[in-house]
Structure 1
Amino acid sequence: MKNDYVRGAPDPNSGGYGGGYGYGGGYGYGGGYGYGGGYGAGGGYEGGSSAPQRSFKDYLLMFRERVWYLIVAFFIIFSGSILYTFNKTKVYTAVAQVQLLRDDPSAMGNIPGMEMEPNQIRSAEDLNTQISVLESASIIVGVEQRIQDDVRERFMAPYSDALSLSGPLSPTEVLGRNRKIMPKRMSLMINIAYTHPDPIIAADVANLFAKEFIDYNLKLNIDGSMKAVEDLRIRADQQKERVEELDMKLADYREQNNAVSLDSQENIAREQLASLNEMKLNAKNVYDMIETKWNLVESYRREQRDLWELSFISEQSRVASLLESISQAKIQISSLSKRYREKHPVMIQLLQQLQESEAELSSAVQNAVNKLDSSFSESKSNYEVASQRLAEKEQELIELSKTRVEYNSLLRDLDVQQSFFIALTSRMTQEKAQVNLKNPNARIVDEAFPPMKHSSPNVVMNLAAGLFGGVAVGMGLVFIVAFLDDRVKSAFDIEGTIGLPMLGIVPRIKKLDTNSKAQAVASNVDRHVTETFRSIHSALKLNDESKNAKVIVTTSTVPGEGKSFVSSNLALTFANHGEKTLLLDGDLRLPNVARSLQLENDFGLLDHVDKDVAIDEVIIKEVYPNLDVLPSGGKSKNPTQVLNSAKFEAMFADLRDRYDRIVVDSPPLAAVSDALNLLPLADGVLYVIKFNTVKRKTAVVNVRRLWESNTPVFGAILNNITSTLSSYYYSHYSDKAYQDYYIHNDEEFEEELAGSVEPTVDSKS
């Protein structure tokens, strides 16, 4: 009877384990597992969907199982805290209180160019700096030096036997270990605590720390001031050299540039520049006027016009008189021409005089032009000379300005350096006067006094720490061990990790041998075991696949998990319910069925397969009512050949027709692969797991091999669990009220069982 059921893939022909395992409310689920749909009608654990999650109760169960880890860890730690508390030397803590002051002026305070912020406590960083100073090794060394020789012996007496990595403890190491600095919030107050077995020494040392801190800071301030004075002296000397150097440089510059009085030189140069500029303007005006006249002369010449028509020529006396003479001569000639002809001596004389006057006029005009030409050349030359002199004077003034810039720069630099030198000298003088007036930047508010009560050991605190520490370590140890434990022991391991539904939980049977355990259902030696197998039978009957399964193979991970015990008692349960059942020993390497039922194993399966002995001759009939047993008939050297033979397969086909149920006890999967050879002939598999024995990883690997065979795995049976642990781990699978119900009706059950079960042995050789 096969199907395609594989892990994670729902079977369409499966109806699911609905309705609960067992009857009467025994070891029942309530909803059941569904191969095709999850936890029955509840729809919980769907194949391949979401695995069960650990609940808070699971963690409580893990804690309950390993509670002794907690008890032992708690006992060790709490006992240790008690021993430590009452054996520790009593020590006393004295506290001195110091107030930090804000004012601490800087030596460089008001020097131009060197202004610095006052050294004041303005922020948490400043306060932490003072605390670090108080915690420094310098303070410890100073306190150690303050301890006088007569007190030193008492101070070191409690630590004479104490050692460090470098040998016996030194006074500085003792001081550093027992000193504690405690700043008070939102204030400038600091508590200095010191702890010592002697309360008087504790108070004295705390006060020494406070005094050393104040003196140390005062010494630092004085040293800082003296260093500042020395720095000021050095800087003043350097500044003096700088001033002298600049003074010499300025004198050299004056000498090189002949710049004794730049102001007077610049004034003279500016006056000369103004005069030259005026001369240039005058020359320019003359030049422009003569140039204009000359241009008119040139223009008249080109036009061949008479030059005496020009006013500046006609206005000359010679030209003007000649023009007047010519005009009169022309008038006379014009008037006499009416009386005389041209050849007349009077006319000839007048014409000759006219010609002479015109010739003189031409000469006079030419002389005027020549004078104009000479004046033009002279005015042009004068203008050019004036322009050149003006440009030279301007350049001279520019050079003076350049000299003035560098000169002023040197002069300003000298003034600044002289001012800085004066400030340094003044500050140095002031600082020298203030060195002896330095005040400490802290003061003692409360001196330490010898305490009346010891500060350590703190009995309440130590015992509370031991109590809570023991509980915490114990709890941590419990859960660490629990998570490191890889063994199968809970429903979460079987269902969530291995991935199998759990069919039942078989309690541990005490004080019985192997033979009695194999017949526990028949003898009803343990009512809880009997009830467990009945609930497993009911669960198998409720599922469609297992309900009609004829051949059921039981296997396990490793030997010793109670696989044969489960096989025999499950077969007895089927038989008690009226089903014709055969218990077949399929472990041909280490057969156990016949021995556990106290039957002969001389003939059996191997005789039928290897020697062709009839099947009826090797089956032991009616061991119990409705129960036959087919032993192995010994051990086989080649079990896989037997299990894979055609004769073995034909035997199974014959047995299917004879029996309602065939329970096959097969070898464990992790040891050999014989069980896998039986799977093709089986209708389903029951996986037996011994409580707290098999590792989860090993079980997962072997169950995966079953999935890969495509043979339905009906579920897992957890074996050999104590009733106490069962009530903790699997309370949701059983109910105390139901158990009490069965126990109360036990007498009726025994009477019924006694009347129906009579063991008979029919062994054949």
Structure 2
Amino acid sequence: MKNDYIKGGGDPNSGGYGYGYGYSGGSGYSYGNYGYGGYGGGGEQAPQRSIKDYILIFRERIWWLIVSFFIIFSGSLLYTFNKTKVYTSVAVVRLLRDDPSAMGVSVELAQNQIVGAEDLNTQISLLQSGKIIQGVNRRMSDEQRKRFLLPYEGAFSFSGPLTPTEILGKYRKIMPQRMSLMVNVAYTHPDAQIAADVANLFAQEFINYNLSENIDASMVAVEGLRIRADQQKERVEEIELKLAEYRERHNAVSLDSQENIAREQLVTLNQIKLESKNNYDQLDTKWNLIETYKREERKLWQLTFVAEQSRVSRLLESISATRIEISSYSKRYREKHPIMIQLLQTLQESEIELQEAVTNSVDKLYASYIEAKSNFELSSKRLAEKESELIALSKTRVEYNTLLRDLDVQQSFFQALNSRMTQEKAQVSLKEANARVVDDAFPPLRHSSPNITVNLLVGVFGGLAVGGGLVFIVAFLDDRVKSAFDIEGTIGLPLLGVIPRIKKLDSSTKAQAVAANVDRHVTETFRSIHSSLKLNDESKNAKIILATSTVPSEGKSFVSSNMALTFANHGERTLLLDADLRLPNIASSLQLPNEFGLLDHIEQGSRLDDMIVSEVYPNLDVLPSGGKSKNPTQVLVSAQFEAMLADLRDRYDRIVVDSPPLAAVSDALNLLPFVDGIVYVIKFNTVKRKTAVANVRRLWESNTPVFGAILNNITTSLSSYYYSQYTDKAYQDYYIGQEDEMEDELAASTEPEEKVES
């Protein structure tokens, strides 16, 4: 019962399911029609991290968060209470959308209109420019400049002592108000009065600078208008001369009337053509239908426009009535009866007359069709002739119209230039600023910085954010297996169970934890593992189960012995086989002699029954290793070992084989051909995920079923986050309430029988 090794879509190292089981069966953890994504034909999607995973990540590394929070919050406190208090004063400036005009309507050539975001941003950039800063520096009085520079004397700077312009540019702030043309001009300074004075100076300098620029631009524009007006006058005179010469040469006075007459005739002919076209299209459609019916040998009186003819319509009604009479009389008389003969003769005559009527109707329609076609062709020809006549007339006056339009344009332009120049001259002397000071800055009563509330909030949230980030970075760099997500999502094995850590007990007591019931959570975990293995046919029917791990000291022998005890407690005849021939541990853990055992049977041919320690516990036998082997690989691949397992398979319901770790030696791989499945033991927070993935892949490549993984030695406090079913309060009360009764029962049923085999 081997499973097929399948390479999936992703590499297991990437955190997804890269390999899996492909055989079919029942509803198990990872194989058959039910399983996790990545192995099993009908598996679900790969597991995702839950909120408990993230809680565990924070819990394990809480000190990273605490230390980071303390450092950043302390830094924010020191910064807040040691920084010099500064004051911010704000002047409010209103930008006018158009330049003010004393004439009522702005006629300036150089305007400063604000019609969009680009214009507004231009004004803001001007307010932030070096020109305004230099103007403010010139406007300050000596007393103001002295108070202004006093707080910055002796201040450190890589470029030397700070200049007034550098200080002004560094601490002023321009803040446009949203969805308006209002701008806040703010300045920050340790002296509240200086902060207000400088903010007002910035607003005044901006207004004066804009006004000066507008006046200079208008003067330049007036001179440009005068030069262009003189040039335009010469152009108008030149065109007037050309137009007079053209009229004289082509006698162009009557062109307008001729063109008007031709246009009226063209409209009339076009209307006649449209009417002819419509009539022709209607008759053409009818005639095409007649032709179609003739080709298909269909009755022409089925056409609506033929059937609507009075004679045809009357004959159709007569034929219909005659046929009804024939049908009625045929029920009483035979065909040779005089009445029937007369009716049939009447029907025949009516049909002949109908055919003649249809033929006459079609002939009339065809004559109308030919006439309509001729009328349409004639009207089209006359329209084309009139269009050619109008085109020829239009060509004659093209140059004339061009000269006339050019003259109108140039005259209008000349008049506009003269009018604009006159208005601009009057406007220059009436210039006003395109901005107003709405609110003057005043000395603030409270400092603006440091902002104690904001700084403390930044310290709190910054500390939490940095600490949380460090926690996740450390968790990302930590490659050790420590959760169900790591086992199921990264390694690709179903989780059979989670064994809590057993404290303050020696290895012998731990190896018999299920029998002694030293920890009820541990006992219940092994019962849960036993139930999980019973859910699938592969693990349910497996007789030889191999227990292995990645590296030494993961609790593999502890799991093997207690899993064997669990099988035995459920009435299955069980053998615990110590196949770790390098560092055997089963005998010492169960306080059994290890002088004789597996090696004696394989190497010396000792009788197998003499090597087995029987009834160590009810239904549990143990086959110790019998010491250490110098060449364990040779022993495990020998024919004697294979024959021994075949013999034991017939004797026992379950054989639990304890083997060396995969990453240390390859002994466990030599055992794979003889076992029915594998239970993989992983110690909490010890083994690296990549190492575990690489070794599990070796197991998959052997086509031996891996029933799942057991996470060992997890602390009870941490297990409560991921595996609440193991520490549920209701079950805890059950265990405590039944404690005395369970101890008495286990003591009576699991008393070991010590036997020393010679």
User: Normalising TM by the smaller chain, what interval?
Assistant: 0.5 to 0.7
d(CA) in 2 for partners of 1:216 and 1:692?
72
Give how far 1:168 is off: 4.8
d(CA) in 2 for partners of 1:539 and 1:48?
17
From 16, 34, 37, the equivalent of 1:38 is 34
1:692 paired to 2:685: yes
| SS, match of residue 724 in structure 2 | coil
d(CA) in 1 for partners of 2:412 and 2:52?
90
- C-alpha contact (below 8 Å) 1:105/1:119 kept by paired residues: no
Cα distance change on mapping 1:690 and 1:178 into 2, 3 Å: same
Give how far 1:70 is off: 3.9
d(CA) in 1 for partners of 2:3 and 2:420?
103
| SS, match of residue 212 in structure 1 | helix
From 656, 663, 671, the equivalent of 2:664 is 671
d(CA) in 2 for partners of 1:101 and 1:613?
111
1:86 paired to 2:81: yes
Give how far 1:582 is off: 2.6
| SS, match of residue 75 in structure 1 | helix
1:740 paired to 2:733: yes
| Alpha-carbon displacement from aligned partner over 1:249-304 (angstroms, at most 9, x marks no partner) | 99xx9xxxxxxx999x99xxxxxxxxxxxxxxxxxxxxxxxxxxxxxxxxxxxxxx
1:651 paired to 2:644: yes
| SS, match of residue 156 in structure 1 | helix
Give how far 1:230 is off: 5.8
d(CA) in 1 for partners of 2:79 and 2:747?
66
- C-alpha contact (below 8 Å) 2:112/2:434 kept by paired residues: no
- C-alpha contact (below 8 Å) 1:490/1:730 kept by paired residues: no
Equivalent residue, structure 1, for 2:182? 189
Equivalent residue, structure 2, for 1:211? 204
- C-alpha contact (below 8 Å) 1:509/1:526 kept by paired residues: yes
| Alpha-carbon displacement from aligned partner over 1:190-244 (angstroms, at most 9, x marks no partner) | 22111112111110110110111112112222332344456567768x959x96x
| SS, match of residue 581 in structure 2 | coil
Equivalent residue, structure 1, for 2:562? 569
| SS, match of residue 664 in structure 1 | strand
Give how far 1:553 is off: 0.6
d(CA) in 2 for partners of 1:586 and 1:418?
112
Q: Could you say which structure has the larger radius of gyration? A: 1
Matches within 5 A, 1:243-258: none
| SS, match of residue 665 in structure 2 | coil
d(CA) in 1 for partners of 2:98 and 2:48?
67
Equivalent residue, structure 2, for 1:724? 717
d(CA) in 2 for partners of 1:574 and 1:418?
111
1:462 paired to 2:458: no
Equivalent residue, structure 1, for 2:511? 518
- C-alpha contact (below 8 Å) 2:677/2:707 kept by paired residues: yes
Q: 2:127 is aligned with what amino acid? A: L
| SS, match of residue 591 in structure 1 | coil
d(CA) in 1 for partners of 2:424 and 2:222?
6
Give how far 1:720 is off: 0.6
From 486, 505, 524, the equivalent of 2:498 is 505
Which 10-residue stretch deviates more, 579-588 or 162-171?
162-171
Matches within 5 A, 1:18-29: none
Give how far 1:500 is off: 2.8
1:100 paired to 2:66: no
- C-alpha contact (below 8 Å) 1:105/1:118 kept by paired residues: no
Cα distance change on mapping 1:141 and 1:672 into 2, 3 Å: farther
Give how far 1:135 is off: 1.5
d(CA) in 1 for partners of 2:528 and 2:100?
94
- C-alpha contact (below 8 Å) 1:10/1:47 kept by paired residues: no
| Alpha-carbon displacement from aligned partner over 1:432-482 (angstroms, at most 9, x marks no partner) | 776555332223222111011112222223333333444444444444554
Equivalent residue, structure 2, for 1:313? none
1:528 paired to 2:521: yes
Instruction: Count the aligned residue pairs.
Output: 593
Q: 1:75 is aligned with what amino acid? A: F
Q: 2:563 is aligned with what amino acid? A: L
1:199 paired to 2:192: yes
d(CA) in 2 for partners of 1:219 and 1:764?
116
Cα distance change on mapping 1:220 and 1:466 into 2, 3 Å: same
Give how far 1:737 is off: 1.0
Cα distance change on mapping 1:175 and 1:611 into 2, 3 Å: farther
Matched-pair identity in %:
71
d(CA) in 2 for partners of 1:493 and 1:423?
83
| Alpha-carbon displacement from aligned partner over 1:107-145 (angstroms, at most 9, x marks no partner) | xxx9xxx99584323333322221121122221232233
Under a length normalisation based on structure 1, what TM-score does the superposition of the two structures give? 0.67
Under a length normalisation based on structure 2, what TM-score does the superposition of the two structures give? 0.67
d(CA) in 1 for partners of 2:539 and 2:503?
31
1:444 paired to 2:424: no
Structure 2 stretches lacking a partner, 5+ long: 6-19, 250-398
Q: 1:11 is aligned with what amino acid? A: S
Structure 1 stretches lacking a partner, 5+ long: 18-32, 254-260, 267-404
Q: 2:70 is aligned with what amino acid? A: F
Give how far 1:567 is off: 0.9
| Alpha-carbon displacement from aligned partner over 1:483-529 (angstroms, at most 9, x marks no partner) | 55443333333334433332221100112233332232333332322
Give how far 1:59 is off: 4.2
Cα distance change on mapping 1:129 and 1:445 into 2, 3 Å: same
| Alpha-carbon displacement from aligned partner over 1:387-439 (angstroms, at most 9, x marks no partner) | xxxxxxxxxxxxxxxxxx99xx9xx99x979996x998997788677655533
| Alpha-carbon displacement from aligned partner over 1:682-729 (angstroms, at most 9, x marks no partner) | 122111121233333433333333333332322221111111111110
Cα distance change on mapping 1:105 and 1:203 into 2, 3 Å: closer
Matches within 5 A, 1:335-374: none
Equivalent residue, structure 2, for 1:705? 698
Equivalent residue, structure 1, for 2:545? 552
Give how far 1:167 is off: 4.8
Matches within 5 A, 1:6-85: 7-12=20-25, 14=26, 16=27, 33=29, 35-38=31-34, 47-85=42-80
Q: 1:77 is aligned with what amino acid? A: I
Equivalent residue, structure 2, for 1:367? none
1:489 paired to 2:482: yes
Cα distance change on mapping 1:262 and 1:735 into 2, 3 Å: closer
Equivalent residue, structure 2, for 1:371? none
d(CA) in 2 for partners of 1:614 and 1:509?
38
From 577, 580, 591, the equivalent of 1:584 is 577
| SS, match of residue 728 in structure 1 | helix
